[in-house]
């Protein structure tokens, strides 16, 4: 089967190649995120993501965030919202503090060009038509030309939970000025198939318009889902799941399961977590290497996926191909 869209693309501002897997840090669900970041930042070689919200309120220190080759700086929209994701297995209460565009820009203005920085546009409470979103983001990015622009596309109405895929496809050339085009995973669709199909359609439309812009899926770092979305044309993935689960052999498992299966059941829970986080970073590097190798070979064995999982990916891609040919 050859109709996958997984390939190496580039962030044109820096020439950095994809795929890029981005371990994220956030105070939401992880109130002691500073300690985690301090301990793990030496292992963040390729990429990492921090939030301007956390920088503003001191959950992370601004002079200690530049360890990775690429630093993604998010707008704080995730931390601003009280509700937890369904994927958040921890019960820490989150009480967001004041957050607005002025505070966001205060933190952006403090960033130092020590490493390659990718800036995500501000995520407003309100919804706006697509052209308004684009114009506002362009105005912001023009203030910080030294950073790569990562445009986070949002639903166009407060009554809609998902992006308007037809509107995006019809206005695809609006995204030409941006280095990266981003979507949150949950706003791409209500099912894995719908999300994969929308990524597949956006990538095909970008290609037909002569744009090779990398697609960034926010909130997606599960290894199998990353692989699927990569095959559908996405390129950059970030998320907090590497702090919530163990990615042993690419399969997420809960802390207790990881502790028992790896013979760590006598260790303190905090120590087990740190060991698991470090191994997760290694797993993400290995996943990136497999995706890169596959993009050059199209040899499905290079993905290193168990047979049943690979069969399911094939079924999804076949379904997407049927949908594409029937449009």
Is the confidence at residue 308, as pLDDT, over 50?
A: yes
What is the tens place of the pLDDT at every residue in 156-168?
A: 998 889 999 999 9
**Distance between CA 70 and CA 84 in Å, rounded?**
27
Across 122-131, b (16+ Cβ under 10 Å) vs e yields bbeeeebebe
Contact (CB, 8 A) for 226 and 232: no
Q: What is the pLDDT of residue 92?
A: 56
What is the tens place of the pLDDT at every residue in 286-304?
A: 999 999 999 999 999 999 9
As a whole number, the mean pLDDT across the chain is 91
**Distance between CA 95 and CA 296 in Å, rounded?**
46
Q: Which residue has the tokens 């719908």?
A: 194
Q: What is the pLDDT of residue 324?
A: 42
What is the tens place of the pLDDT at every residue in 194-235?
A: 999 999 999 999 999 999 999 999 999 999 999 999 999 999
In sequence order, what E strands does 109-208 have? 116-120, 148-152, 180-184
Is the confidence at residue 93, as pLDDT, over 80?
A: no
**Distance between CA 54 and CA 194 in Å, rounded?**
32
Per-residue pLDDT, averaged over 299-320, amounts to 93
Per-residue pLDDT, averaged over 18-25, amounts to 98
- Bridge partners (DSSP) of residue 181 are 151, 215
Band (94; pLDDT cuts 50, 70, 90): low
Q: What is the pLDDT of residue 325?
A: 40
Q: What is the pLDDT of residue 89?
A: 47
Q: Which residue has the tokens 């044109």?
A: 12
Is the confidence at residue 142, as pLDDT, over 90?
A: yes
Pairing of strands 47-51, 180-184: unpaired
């Amino acid at each position: 089967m050859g109709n996958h869209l997984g390939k190496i693309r580039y962030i044109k501002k820096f020439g950095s190649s994809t795929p890029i897997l981005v371990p994220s840090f956030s105070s939401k669900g992880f109130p002691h995120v500073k300690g985690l970041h301090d301990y793990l930042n030496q292992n963040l070689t390729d990429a990492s993501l921090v939030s301007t919200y956390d920088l503003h309120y001191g959950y992370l220190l601004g002079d200690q965030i530049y360890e990775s080759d690429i630093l993604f700086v998010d707008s704080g929209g995730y931390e601003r919202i009280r509700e937890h994701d369904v994927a958040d297995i921890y019960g820490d209460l989150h009480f967001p503090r004041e957050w607005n565009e002025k505070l966001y820009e205060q933190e952006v203005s403090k960033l130092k060009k020590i490493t390659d920085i990718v800036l995500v546009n501000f995520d407003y409470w309100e919804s706006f038509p697509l052209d308004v979103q684009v114009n506002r983001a362009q105005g912001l990015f023009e203030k910080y030309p030294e950073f790569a622009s990562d445009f986070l596309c949002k639903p166009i109405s407060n009554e809609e939970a998902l992006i308007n895929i037809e509107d995006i496809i019809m206005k695809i050339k609006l995204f030409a000025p941006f280095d990266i085009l981003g979507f949150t995973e949950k706003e791409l669709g209500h099912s894995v198939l719908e999300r994969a199909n929308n990524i597949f359609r956006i990538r095909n439309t970008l290609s037909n318009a002569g744009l090779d812009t990398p697609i960034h899926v926010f909130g997606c770092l599960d290894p199998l889902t990353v692989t699927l979305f990569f095959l559908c044309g996405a390129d950059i993935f970030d998320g907090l799941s590497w702090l919530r689960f163990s990615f042993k052999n690419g399969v997420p498992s809960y802390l207790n399961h990881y502790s028992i299966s790896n013979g760590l059941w006598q260790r303190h829970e905090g120590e087990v977590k740190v060991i698991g986080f470090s191994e997760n970073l290694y797993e993400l590097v290995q996943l990136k290497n497999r995706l890169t190798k596959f993009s050059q070979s199209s040899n499905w064995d290079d993905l290193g996926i168990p047979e049943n999982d690979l069969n399911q990916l094939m079924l999804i891609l076949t379904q997407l191909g049927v949908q594409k040919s029937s449009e």
